[in-house]
Chain A
Amino acid sequence: MPSSASPSRHRVTASERVGPYTLLRLERGDLEPGVPGQFFMLEAPGRLLPRPFSLCLAPPRELAFLVDPIGPGTQALCELRTGDEIGVLGPLGRGYRLDVERPLLVGGGIGIAPLPYLADHLGGSPPVVLGFRSGEHAEAAALLPGAEVAVDPVLVTELIEPGHDVMACGPEPMLCAVAATCPEAQLAWEAPMACGYGACYGCVVEIDGALKRLCLEGPVLDAARVRPPVEAVA
């Protein structure tokens, strides 16, 4: 749990289109940005449950989140305007281990979200490879200047060169492919989550051979610890 047990209210400072996604900028207030790969629960206006987002950018006095409008909650977040307020809880979960020698950041689609903040934290412009399903989606690569980009049917995994400490986030099939070639990789997983702090038992994933809550164990996990759902492998 973060230091505050209650969500705090944060004003929207800007909402920017990035390809099909929205970069939602919030006033930081007293929130800590946390470790890259950790996440925050954002109130989705008009919905019962908040939604989990990893931190995308942490400019001074702001926290920024990349939102893909895939359902009513994320659409409501994308429709927020400057000056609107939402409740935010975080940072939550466990992020990336940063003690790596030769980092390579690998992102797919909306899974690029935690990588800009991760790259900032690592410093020294680590190499980044990104995969997107279309040219429009690939506009989001602008968040990671200098990144190498693959657009479907080319797969981001084809851009991974051996000898790196891979730090990845993306859809499950991509994470499975990364895990198959880079068993030492750190992977950020996603699961439906009602609370983000271990209360709802909804976000279980097979971790170390048993169903465990991703919000407490992850979302970033060493590749060898996770067995993904069958459909993700297919």
Chain B
Amino acid sequence: MRILNASGCLDALAAPEVARELDAFVTKTVTPLPREGNAPPRIAETAHGMLNAIGLANPGRERFLAEHLPRVRELGVPVWVSVGGFCADDYAETCSRLTGIEAIELNLSCPNVDEAADSAAEIVAACRRATELPLYAKLSAAHPDVTDVARAVAHAGADGLSLINTLRAVALDKHLRPALARGSGGLSGPALKPVALHAVSVCHEAAALPIVGMGGVQTGRDALEFAACGAADVALGTVLFADPGAPARVRTELAAACAEAGVATPGDAGPLTKSPETGRKVPA
């Protein structure tokens, strides 16, 4: 089980020693044009979680490719680039320009910008035509049935799934006004874990694709639970804010959690799980 960061939760150039502890570093989402992001306040703590409305702040595709990505690649850590956009062509154009990285994660589910006009499957299909690199589709659990989307992106050529993105949410300040300038934001942290485990579990059953599980992973035990629901890999997000040492810590704890659960590797935990929808044993 590889340990990655969730996109947007780590700046590898500001904290290279943290990035080097990961099995792969996932960049902040890059969009065709530069984005300054949303006005502050952008973050608020909630019970067992936090909200963010960063708004895909990034230098834009051209500066990212010319300046940012070469420096990230120099760190010696496998790189995944998170790609965003506002239509299928946006995504595909960026994908066609990416080389020398391990994988592409398509951000199909940012809660803090207006939704892409094209469907997840259309975007994946366009990107599939544009690149031979592995394509991971990052999905939201805020969908009537996330397995419909998982099946559709699998059919369109996705190589894997990243589950889940933050959930759109609101928090109020002491004056009963939204705590974030944008109003709503994306909920992350431990509050998200049960939602994420469910999405991983049902998508693992619905689409035969490797899954990077994320949403509230704080400990090695949490990572093992994601494995038990069918995740091949796991990503750390909010936990990095409080503990930049989390990648190494979670890796150590994961080994101990496996021993305690009586499994040799996290992958051995997967087949034990039964689908929460059907009660049937999920195939290995």
Give the CA-CA distance A1 to B40 in the complex, in Å: 23
Give the CA-CA distance A208 to B188 in the complex, in Å: 31
Q: Which chain A positions have C-beta within 8 A of B243?
A: 6-7, 87
Give the CA-CA distance A229 to B240 in the complex, in Å: 28
Chain-B contact segment, one of A32-40, A46-54, A129-137, A152-160: A46-54
Q: Which chain B positions have C-beta within 8 A of A73?
A: 45
CB closest chain-A residue, reference B48: A48
Give the CA-CA distance A199 to B49 in the complex, in Å: 16
Q: Which chain A positions have C-beta within 8 A of B10?
A: 199
With contact pairs A47-B45, A195-B244 given, residues A1 and B14 touching in the complex (Cβ less than 8 Å): yes
Within A176-227, which residues are at the interface with B (CB < 8 Å)? 191-195, 197-205, 210-211, 216
CB closest chain-A residue, reference B44: A192
A5 within 8 A of B: yes
Total residues of chain A contacting the partner, CB 8 A: 32
Is the Cβ of A204 less than 8 Å from the Cβ of B37?
Answer: yes
Give the CA-CA distance A231 to B140 in the complex, in Å: 35
Chain-A contact segment, one of B15-23, B82-90, B102-110: B15-23
One of B54, B238, B245 near A201 (C-beta < 8 A): B54
B200 within 8 A of A: no
A89 within 8 A of B: yes
B50 within 8 A of A: yes
A43 within 8 A of B: yes
Q: Which chain A positions have C-beta within 8 A of B18?
A: 1, 5, 197, 199
Is the Cβ of B242 less than 8 Å from the Cβ of A229?
Answer: no
Q: Which chain B positions have C-beta within 8 A of A7?
A: 242-245
One of A89, A191, A194 near B50 (C-beta < 8 A): A194
Is the Cβ of B245 less than 8 Å from the Cβ of A199?
Answer: no
Within B2-43, which residues are at the interface with A (CB < 8 Å)? 8-11, 14-15, 17-18, 21, 28, 36-37, 39-43
With contact pairs A191-B40, A195-B240, A211-B57 given, residues A200 and B52 touching in the complex (Cβ less than 8 Å): yes
Q: Which chain A positions have C-beta within 8 A of B189?
A: 48
Give the CA-CA distance A195 to B42 in the complex, in Å: 13
Is the Cβ of B242 less than 8 Å from the Cβ of A6?
Answer: no
| Residue interface bits B236-265, CB-to-A below 8 A is 1, else 0 | 001011111100110000000000000000
| Residue interface bits A2-39, CB-to-B below 8 A is 1, else 0 | 00111100000000000000000000000000000000
Q: Which chain B positions have C-beta within 8 A of A210?
A: 36
Give the CA-CA distance A191 to B189 in the complex, in Å: 21
A212 CB to closest chain B CB, in angstroms? 10
Q: Which chain B positions have C-beta within 8 A of A43?
A: 242
B78 within 8 A of A: no
Is the Cβ of A198 less than 8 Å from the Cβ of B14?
Answer: yes
A1 CB to closest chain B CB, in angstroms? 5
One of B43, B190, B245 near A6 (C-beta < 8 A): B245
A93 CB to closest chain B CB, in angstroms? 11
Give the CA-CA distance A211 to B14 in the complex, in Å: 16
Within B168-191, which residues are at the interface with A (CB < 8 Å)? 189-190
Is the Cβ of A201 less than 8 Å from the Cβ of B244?
Answer: no
A229 CB to closest chain B CB, in angstroms? 7
Q: Which chain A positions have C-beta within 8 A of B42?
A: 192, 201-202, 204
Give the CA-CA distance A217 to B123 in the complex, in Å: 37
What are the 5 closest A-B residue pairs judged by CB atoms, nearest first?
A6-B245, A198-B14, A202-B43, A195-B241, A194-B241
| 28 pairs, A vs B, C-beta closer than 8 Å | A1-B18, A4-B245, A5-B15, A5-B244, A6-B249, A7-B242, A7-B244, A48-B45, A48-B48, A48-B189, A49-B241, A49-B242, A191-B41, A192-B40, A192-B44, A193-B43, A194-B241, A195-B244, A199-B11, A199-B18, A200-B43, A200-B52, A201-B37, A201-B42, A202-B41, A203-B40, A203-B43, A205-B40
Partner-A contacts on B (CB < 8 A): 8-11, 14-15, 17-18, 21, 28, 36-37, 39-45, 48-50, 52, 54, 57, 189-190, 238, 240-245, 248-249
Partner-B contacts on A (CB < 8 A): 1, 4-7, 41, 43, 47-50, 73, 87, 89, 191-195, 197-205, 210-211, 216, 229
